[in-house]
Structure 1
Amino acid sequence: MLVIPKAHAVGLEDLQEDVGVQVWKVAHRLGRALRRSGLRCEGVNLFLADGEAAFQEVLHVHLHVFPRFTGDPFRIDADWRVQERNQLDMTAAAVRGGLAALDAGRR
């Protein structure tokens, strides 16, 4: 998943601190939702590339939130293939379920 602020900032240097705080809050919430989603998730990575040397390819701040598990294929040089629409929809529904579980826990 990606957390993308509406206000444009190329990198962290340009990102307003309060916007950065909100980005991390949303990422934290999504990471917790992944743990409750039923998806395979033994851990969570947050990844933000700031600058070309850090592998930033899109010149707008965005924070990646993704589930990890023992033996998963993720590497910094991973092959980022687009998933089938059906798989993307199922994953999105599972994460929404995790978010709903978080919301239900607050009542």
Structure 2
Amino acid sequence: MAEAYDPGNIFAKILRGEIPSHRVYEDEAVVAFMDVMPQGTGHTLVVPKAPSRNMLDADPATLGALFAVVQKVAVAVKKAFDADGLTLMQFNEPASGQTVYHLHVHVIPRFEGVPLKPHSGQMEKPEVLAEHAGKIRAALAG
């Protein structure tokens, strides 16, 4: 049996404005913001506003809106950091590595020869996240 959605999860709190974030994009259905424990420069999270534990319980309309924004943000992230490529990650349930139980997609710019950092719990400096968010917002603006 699937677990119920917990409205107290950290991403739900970010969406409600209870916890600050460095947002790069927002529309009626989706928000994108910087990962505070990035695995690489420019690591961005794309999160639907609809309460979904993960992809397994999400409404198909939520997925459509989410992945349209994932593509838009991915193009901007690649441009903003002049990345060689991108890694997209999306986890479902504990066995997959999911630790926050609100549907989200990781968008991580990749550079030849540079491995991903571990998701160590080491938080990035707020000024670095703000700088990176500004670059992505500028790329989104064209």
The structure carrying a bigger strand percent of its residues is: 2
The structure carrying a bigger helix percent of its residues is: 1
Deviation at 1:36, TM superposition (A): 1.9
2:75 matched residue in structure 1: 32
In structure 2, C-alpha distance between the alignment counterparts of 1:81 and 1:70, rounded to whole Å: 23
2:85 matched residue in structure 1: 43
| Secondary structure, aligned partner of 1:12 | coil
RMSD of aligned alpha carbons: 1.5
Q: Does the 8 Å contact 1:41/1:67 carry over to 2?
A: yes
Question: Could you state the TM-score of these two structures normalised by the residue count of structure 1?
Answer: 0.84
1:68 matched residue in structure 2: 110
Distance 1:24 1:6, change over 3 A: same
In structure 2, C-alpha distance between the alignment counterparts of 1:78 and 1:40, rounded to whole Å: 23
Distance 1:78 1:6, change over 3 A: closer
Deviation at 1:78, TM superposition (A): 4.2
Q: Counterparts in 2 of 1:52-63, with a 5 A limit? A: 52-63=94-105
Structure 2, unaligned stretches of length 5 or more? 1-43
State the aligned residue count. 99
Matching residue within 125, 129, 133 for 1:84: 125
1:9 matched residue in structure 2: 52
| Secondary structure, aligned partner of 2:109 | strand
| Secondary structure, aligned partner of 2:107 | strand
| Secondary structure, aligned partner of 1:9 | coil
Amino acid at match of 2:106: H
